[in-house]
A and B are shown apart, each in its own frame.
Chain A
Amino acid sequence: MGIVSTLDVAAPREVAVVRAPVGRRRVIGGLTIVLGLFVMLAFGFGSLAGAHSQFTFTPVNTSSGAPWNLAPLTVLTRWWNLGLGLLTVGLGVETWIRRPAGALVRFGLGGVLFFIALLLWATRQPGPSPVSSLNFTSVLIGSLSIAMVLIYGSLSGVLCERSGVVNIAIEGQFIGGALAGAMVDSVTNSFWLAALVGIVVGGLIGWLLALFAVRYVADQIVVGVVLVTLMSSISSYLNIQVLAPYPNLNVGNQPSNVALPLLSKIPIIGPALFNETVFFYAAGALVALISFGLFRTRWGLRVRAVGEHPKAAESVGINVARVRYTTVILGGAVAGLGGVAFIAIQGQFQPGITSGLGYIALAAMIFGKWKPSGAVVASLLFGVSAYLVDALQNENVPIPTEFMTMFPYVVTIAVVAGLIGRVRPPASDGVPYHRD
């Protein structure tokens, strides 16, 4: 066996991976330093000494009843960006020296600082931008709403792949959940029912994936790709055949926000974090629940055992097929709920409305090292970048946003290739299991 595995293409690398992380963390630290220096040079010294940017903090939607009215904060762009850059450099230096386990998290934090600096630079006055001020709370709210959808998707991925089934059909489950959610909510006017049906539809797509991948040992990647195609064509078909002639099936209700008492009154972050739809809070609860379930319960141990070494799991009496079935259905249900959450933000359903968010969620899951907590951090980071792409495009800020569109994918490739850090999937992720 040992001889055989050294013949493998990736095998020499695998050996190195075991002791690699410490060195990798140094690389991450270095990259964070470079990021900080870039911020200082491009966004700091890149803006005129007298240029200033303006932050506003009052939420546009005041339903949270924010009792405060913070005055806009006008800052000197150059000095603030130099400060943000220095902070990033500091993070990098700390990572370089201490090589902490949370190196990627620090890199992610550096990324967020980078985006704030970018925004400051983009909206500086006098400058090329028609936008003269930056509503910080709006940026936060917008980013969080995308991040929430990504969290649902990446949690779904974590569940499926921890049990050894690759789920690249997250996008399809999003579409299914969104379509079902929009229709059910339009008819019943109840987002609770919509969520329930979304869960069922997502679970059904998960069941299909499990049926083909586990029972009929079809290739999981092919099945995933086909399920996405299938769901997107079904949604487009139904849109023409059903939603267009019956517009009352797609009225585009949006659930009202639930403001948590006191917490929602916290300046700046209150309206973003504690005046949200139930879906937002549910996402938070799911992260805790799945984290706990996977790493602190017997069920979670079984799921992870099946994903790492199904043969060993079977030898201690675990039914591999059944564990994979239930976990993949559960994962599908989570992504289906994510689809409902998405349509709750967007309102009306249109074909193609998810626009590849499922694949960003997949990237977030990988970037988050197949862990719920990592998925949250990655989702937040990718949520910010995805929101900024939209916002900058809508407000005609003269930056080539194409490069920011690439951001989630590029960092995910870098992580997979071990260029920054190294992620390791569950050992049997994507490998069908035969009892023999």
Chain B
Amino acid sequence: MSELSTTPTPSPSPAPPATTPPRHNWWARYNATSPVTLTVLALILGVVIGAVIITVTSAPVLDSWRHSFHHVGSFAGTLKLTFDTVAAAYRAMVTGSILDPTLFVHAITTGHGWSQTLTPLSETLTYATPLVIASIGVGIAFQTGIFNIGANGQAILGAIVGTAVASMIHLPMIWHLPLTLVAGVVGGAVCGLVPGALKAYTGAHEVIVTLMFNYVINAILIYALTSTALQLPGQSNDISRNFDSTATLNPLFGTKSGLRVSYGIFVAAAVVVFAVWFLKRSSLGFDFRVTGANPHAARASGINPKTIVLAVFLVSGGLAGLAGVVQAASTTHYIDGGFLIGSAGIGFTAITIALLGRLQPVGIVWGSLLFAALGVGGRAMQAATGIPLDLATIIQSVVVLFVASPVLITEIFRLRSRAQSFQLANKGWGS
């Protein structure tokens, strides 16, 4: 029934009337549970759970705990060891993804080592770029009440088409790079059109279709990469030809700087601006939002739901495809069989980031930066302390679980005013 609704769901127990707290009262503001507060609290919970996981899986820490049960005096030492282990991990995570203060001070005082100091930030931005683009695509679909779980497949197809254009056509950069990016958009949009058309014309549920389509695209990726057209000549592995140098998104500060952050961030910025304009100012965006808010009203006011479904999948898939080609054009300059597969699947991360950013473009930028920082920091943590980078993914998952259920957070932290329960369209397969 509620096929296309993003109506805010009432929280299970009746919410007390919301009162605007006085601005100066810190505690009252804490209790007001803004989206930012909720996200920060979720992050705190994620970090705490991560700390527990580090503690119970670290052999020296566990040994020390066992020891301290037999020898009374060593308890303080055990606590210190536990704290140090956890702190070292998180310190590596922060310094590896944002800024290392010692390197920063060194760079300021001596004027050298700026590249090393800025590398963490550059990496975080590099990782965040495709995430922003893909998540905005998913967010626009969510706002219309459409669940696009297939962003990953769309990104992969976008990258395949983009790679084909980037490696098989030879043009000057002024044409080649835009054409490559457009090819990515087209690839993603075509891939999105299939579930869109099936939903519009047969009523097939888009969650099932897009979910299944991801795996179809994974197979197509392998097929494409082992075809003579796309495979790197002389290779038998599933690896593509390289992008022409005229089709890559080059590092912002030149290749010599060692910083990977590329012109891709301008693409992402353009997408953010486009999304804000599209949703707030354009007529199609208005139709999208109306359909998301109340599909029946939308239909009654003359908006054709089929057109909307098709348009949503074109926009959402196109953006996912752009994300895929930006990922390839700004980092590796080729794609291989592991592209966006498994934990590297930006399409799946995009779903969670869209939720984290409450479907709003600006919120999504912050969400992407947070997730990218966690991912990059996880790598640094693994390098520095040997704790597997999967810890970052665990924290990400925990954060999203909590953000997805604000009621749980208000219960845990005993917040006085109930969270304005933000909920995605809860979509049934049966609807």
- 8 A Cβ contacts from A70-113 to B: none
Residue from the list A164, A217, A356, A429 in contact with B12, Cβ < 8 A: A217
Known contacts A7-B296, A229-B393, A417-B198, A221 near B427 by CB under 8 Å: yes
Write out, one digit per residue, whether chain A residues 1-24 have a CB within 8 A of any chain B CB (1) or not (0).
000110111100110000000000
Check B4 for interface membership: any CB of A closer than 8 A: yes
A219 near B427: Cβ-Cβ < 8 Å: yes
Write out, one digit per residue, whether chain B residues 402-431 have a CB within 8 A of any chain A CB (1) or not (0).
001101100000000000000111111111
Known contacts A8-B295, A225-B149, A405 near B219 by CB under 8 Å: yes
Separation of A245 and B425 alpha carbons in the complex (Å): 45
Residue from the list B305, B423, B424, B429 in contact with A166, Cβ < 8 A: B429
Residue from the list B9, B215, B387, B394 in contact with A233, Cβ < 8 A: B394
Kindly specify which of A48-56, A234-242, A257-265, A328-336 makes contact with the partner chain.
A234-242
Residue from the list A10, A242, A431 in contact with B426, Cβ < 8 A: A431
Residues of A contacting B40 in the complex (Cβ-Cβ under 8 angstroms): none
B4 near A9: Cβ-Cβ < 8 Å: yes
Separation of A400 and B228 alpha carbons in the complex (Å): 13
Check A402 for interface membership: any CB of B closer than 8 A: yes
Query: Chain B nearest CB: distance from A319 CB in Å?
Result: 14
Please name the residue on chain B nearest to A245 by beta carbon: B59
Residue from the list B2, B212, B424 in contact with A222, Cβ < 8 A: B424
Chain A interface secondary structure, helix, strand, loop or mixed? helix
Kindly specify which of A28-36, A134-142, A291-299, A408-416 makes contact with the partner chain.
A408-416
B426 near A223: Cβ-Cβ < 8 Å: no
Check B1 for interface membership: any CB of A closer than 8 A: yes
Query: Chain A nearest CB: distance from B409 CB in Å?
Result: 9
A416 near B295: Cβ-Cβ < 8 Å: no
Check B179 for interface membership: any CB of A closer than 8 A: no
Residue from the list A227, A238, A416 in contact with B205, Cβ < 8 A: A416
Please name the residue on chain A nearest to B225 by beta carbon: A402
A417 near B430: Cβ-Cβ < 8 Å: no
Separation of A236 and B387 alpha carbons in the complex (Å): 11
Residue from the list B149, B223, B351, B404 in contact with A402, Cβ < 8 A: B223
Check B370 for interface membership: any CB of A closer than 8 A: no
Residue from the list A219, A225, A424 in contact with B423, Cβ < 8 A: A219
A426 near B430: Cβ-Cβ < 8 Å: yes
Residue from the list A226, A237, A307, A406 in contact with B404, Cβ < 8 A: A226
Number of interface residues of A (CB under 8 A): 70
Check B77 for interface membership: any CB of A closer than 8 A: no
Number of interface residues of B (CB under 8 A): 70
Please name the residue on chain A nearest to B195 by beta carbon: A413
Separation of A234 and B57 alpha carbons in the complex (Å): 11
B149 near A212: Cβ-Cβ < 8 Å: no
Separation of A236 and B389 alpha carbons in the complex (Å): 9
B393 near A431: Cβ-Cβ < 8 Å: no
- 8 A Cβ contacts from B105-136 to A: none
- 8 A Cβ contacts from A175-222 to B: 212, 215-222
Residues of B contacting A417 in the complex (Cβ-Cβ under 8 angstroms): 198, 202, 204, 209
Check B401 for interface membership: any CB of A closer than 8 A: yes
Check B90 for interface membership: any CB of A closer than 8 A: no
B390 near A413: Cβ-Cβ < 8 Å: no
A430 near B430: Cβ-Cβ < 8 Å: yes
Separation of A222 and B400 alpha carbons in the complex (Å): 9
Known contacts A225-B352, A237-B391, A430-B426, A9 near B203 by CB under 8 Å: yes
Check B200 for interface membership: any CB of A closer than 8 A: yes
Query: Chain B nearest CB: distance from A381 CB in Å?
Result: 15
Residue from the list A13, A220, A225, A413 in contact with B203, Cβ < 8 A: A13
Write out, one digit per residue, whether chain B residues 342-361 have a CB within 8 A of any chain A CB (1) or not (0).
11000010011001000000
Query: Chain A nearest CB: distance from B237 CB in Å?
Result: 14
Check B66 for interface membership: any CB of A closer than 8 A: no
Residues of A contacting B203 in the complex (Cβ-Cβ under 8 angstroms): 9-10, 13-14, 418
Residue from the list B9, B309, B397 in contact with A434, Cβ < 8 A: B9
Known contacts A14-B203, A219-B427, A225-B352, A232 near B343 by CB under 8 Å: yes
Best-buried of B355, B391, B393, B429 by chain A (most CB within 10 Å): B429
Write out, one digit per residue, whether chain A residues 385-409 have a CB within 8 A of any chain B CB (1) or not (0).
0000000000000001011011001
Separation of A413 and B218 alpha carbons in the complex (Å): 15
Write out, one digit per residue, whether chain B residues 368-398 have a CB within 8 A of any chain A CB (1) or not (0).
0000000000000000000110110110111
Separation of A230 and B402 alpha carbons in the complex (Å): 13
Separation of A240 and B390 alpha carbons in the complex (Å): 10
Query: Chain A nearest CB: distance from B323 CB in Å?
Result: 17
Separation of A181 and B431 alpha carbons in the complex (Å): 37
Residue from the list A161, A229, A237, A403 in contact with B429, Cβ < 8 A: A161
Separation of A233 and B149 alpha carbons in the complex (Å): 20
B397 near A218: Cβ-Cβ < 8 Å: no
Query: Chain A nearest CB: distance from B42 CB in Å?
Result: 12
A8 near B216: Cβ-Cβ < 8 Å: no
A221 near B207: Cβ-Cβ < 8 Å: yes
Check A363 for interface membership: any CB of B closer than 8 A: yes
Residues of B contacting A14 in the complex (Cβ-Cβ under 8 angstroms): 203
B428 near A431: Cβ-Cβ < 8 Å: yes
A240 near B428: Cβ-Cβ < 8 Å: no
Known contacts A222-B404, A435-B12, A436-B10, A168 near B426 by CB under 8 Å: no
B209 near A413: Cβ-Cβ < 8 Å: yes
Residues of A contacting B408 in the complex (Cβ-Cβ under 8 angstroms): 212, 216
Query: Chain A nearest CB: distance from B289 CB in Å?
Result: 16
Query: Chain A nearest CB: distance from B427 CB in Å?
Result: 6
Separation of A225 and B138 alpha carbons in the complex (Å): 14
Known contacts A166-B428, A222-B404, A5 near B1 by CB under 8 Å: yes
- 8 A Cβ contacts from B219-275 to A: 219-220, 222-223
Known contacts A7-B300, A8-B1, A232-B343, A217 near B212 by CB under 8 Å: no
Check A127 for interface membership: any CB of B closer than 8 A: no
Query: Chain A nearest CB: distance from B319 CB in Å?
Result: 19
Best-buried of B216, B404, B428 by chain A (most CB within 10 Å): B428
Write out, one digit per residue, whether chain B residues 304-317 have a CB within 8 A of any chain A CB (1) or not (0).
01100100000000
Write out, one digit per residue, whether chain B residues 1-34 have a CB within 8 A of any chain A CB (1) or not (0).
1111000011010000000000000000000000
Separation of A381 and B355 alpha carbons in the complex (Å): 37
Separation of A232 and B222 alpha carbons in the complex (Å): 22
Residue from the list B199, B212, B219, B387 in contact with A363, Cβ < 8 A: B212
B contact set with A: CB distance below 8 Å: 1-4, 9-10, 12, 53, 57-59, 147, 149, 198-200, 202-205, 207-209, 211-213, 215-216, 218-220, 222-223, 295-296, 299-300, 305-306, 309, 342-343, 348, 351-352, 355, 387-388, 390-391, 393-394, 396-398, 400-401, 404-405, 407-408, 423-431
A contact set with B: CB distance below 8 Å: 4-5, 7-10, 13-14, 161, 164, 166, 168, 212, 215-223, 225-227, 229-230, 232-234, 236-238, 240-242, 245, 307-308, 352, 356, 359, 362-363, 366, 400, 402-403, 405-406, 409-410, 412-413, 416-419, 424-432, 434-436
17 example contacts (A-B, Cβ-Cβ < 8 A) are as follows: A9-B309, A212-B404, A216-B405, A219-B426, A225-B352, A226-B400, A229-B393, A233-B391, A237-B394, A241-B387, A366-B208, A413-B208, A416-B212, A427-B431, A429-B430, A430-B428, A435-B12
Given contacts A417-B209, A434-B9, 19 further A-B contacts (CB under 8 A): A8-B1, A8-B296, A164-B430, A212-B401, A225-B351, A226-B352, A229-B396, A233-B343, A233-B394, A233-B397, A236-B388, A241-B58, A241-B387, A352-B342, A405-B219, A406-B216, A424-B430, A427-B428, A430-B431
Q: Which 8 A-B pairs have CB atoms at the shortest separation, nearest pair first?
A: A216-B405, A430-B428, A10-B203, A431-B428, A233-B393, A13-B203, A417-B204, A230-B397
